Structure 1
Amino acid sequence: MAYCLGFAGYSDSGKTTLIARLLVEMKYRGHRIGVMKHDAHGHYKEVQGADSTVFVERDADVVVTISPNALHVYEKMESPCLEEQLAAYDHLDYIFIEGFKKEKHPKIGVYRTIEQKELLKGLAPSLIAVATDLTNVDDDLALPRLNLNDIRGIADFIEQFFVNCQF
């Protein structure tokens, strides 16, 4: 069973950078990691000129590209469900989720400004910790506070969280 952990924050809060750095650390520790990113505005595009893009542009419902060491799937779907996708990758150790702020999975809130921190307050029920590089900030969220630049410490926290929780 894959442990699912979200990273919630607003634009330029450092979510992508944090996940990218955590990927390296968690892979070093021997974990199999998946990442799912929410494209809430539908901006994702296939690479221009690639064969798979031609098939997508010609309205294929599914395009699967099989390479010696990878599989890329593009599938048209009305209202794709995060839960279904998580189930499909249950063979991994962890799935990191960027975005999907309103879903109920546990999340680490990420912020770099007081304004971004204030916006996170609405997500408090699903937050298990916050990661920030700010110092001298009131801890009014009453959550464990992680140093955004301490990747090992954040990885330790993640591993311990799931060891201690009964899912």
Structure 2
Amino acid sequence: MTSVIGFVGFSNSGKTTLISKLVTHFTNSGLKVAVIKHDAHGHYKEAEGADSTHYREAGAAATVVISPDSYMAFRREVTELEPIVAMLQVEQSYELIFVEGFKNGAHNKIALFRNEEQAEIIRSLPQPPAAVASFETFKKLVPATIPFLEIDDICGIAEWIEIHMKKNSI
């Protein structure tokens, strides 16, 4: 079974950086990782330095950018998260799929924030996140019922993901 975990946060909260580091970590561990990025406005341009380029450079076996009316291949077909996840689960043997964005998706999420203002992400989600990643300084802003992960502790976050993969809870 392919595990799916999302990463949500406001702009500049560190989603791309964290996902790229986790892709490298899990790829180096022998897992086949895919990344799906949400382009809510349809303005995404594939260029040097683009998020999807970072993911590929980090070792992702697949990257998909989903816009309102297309996905990275620009085929005007499936544009919802769940069919893309199903396609990656069926057509390829990915052990892990990271989803950037899709705050309203049904998948489990790790909410990221780098300052007090961005902590609002926790309350803006339709369901509580599976975990929160931020700096220790902001731990007090996270409800005690939600696991807290240090945003720069890649090994710690990876371990949390691995534990939940084994439990089939992500």
Structure 2 CA distance for aligned equivalents of residues 160 and 70 of structure 1 = 23
List structure 1 runs of 4+ shifted beyond 6 angstroms.
Answer: 69-72
Task: Give the number of the structure with larger relative contact order, counting CA–CA contacts within 8 Å between residues 6 or more apart.
Answer: 1
Match of residue 100 from structure 1? 102
Q: Tell me which residue corresponds to 2:35.
A: 35
Task: Name the residue aligned to 1:85.
Answer: 84
Give the letter for the 2:81 counterpart: L
Asked if the contact 2:35–2:62 (Cα under 8 Å) also holds between the matched residues in 1, the reply is no
Query: Alpha carbons of 1:70 and 1:107: their partners in 2 closer, same or farther (altered >3 Å)?
Result: closer
Q: Residue 129 of structure 1: CA displacement? A: 0.5
Map residues 15-164 of structure 1 onto 2, 5 A cutoff. 15-46=15-46, 73-77=73-77, 80-90=79-89, 91-123=93-125, 125-135=127-137, 137-141=139-143, 142-164=145-167
1:165 CA displacement? 3.6
Q: Runs of 5+ in structure 1 lacking a partner?
A: 48-68
Secondary structure of residue in 2 paired with 1:19 = helix
Distance of 1:70 and 1:111 partners within structure 2: 26
- How far is 1:70 from its partner? 8.7
1:111/1:70 CA distance change after superposition, 3 Å:
closer
Counterpart amino acid of residue 118 in structure 2: Q
Specify the code of the residue in structure 2 equivalent to 1:76.
R
Are the structure 2 counterparts of residues 126 and 34 from structure 1 closer, same or farther at C-alpha, using a change threshold of 3 Å?
farther
Q: What 5-or-longer segments of structure 2 have no aligned partner?
A: 48-60, 64-71
Greater C-alpha radius of gyration: 1
- Percent identity reads 39
Q: For the Cα contact (< 8 Å) 1:113–1:134, is it kept in 2?
A: no
The count of aligned residue pairs is 145
Give distance in 1, aligned partners of 2:36 and 2:138.
32
SS in 1 for 2:6: strand
Q: 1:70 to 1:106 in 2, by over 3 A?
A: closer
Deviation of 1:28 (Å): 1.2
Distance 1:133 1:34, change over 3 A: same
RMSD across aligned positions (CA)? 2.4
3-state SS of paired residue (2:74): strand
Change (3 A) 1:74 1:138: same
Q: Does the 8 A contact of 1:27 with 1:33 survive in 2?
A: yes
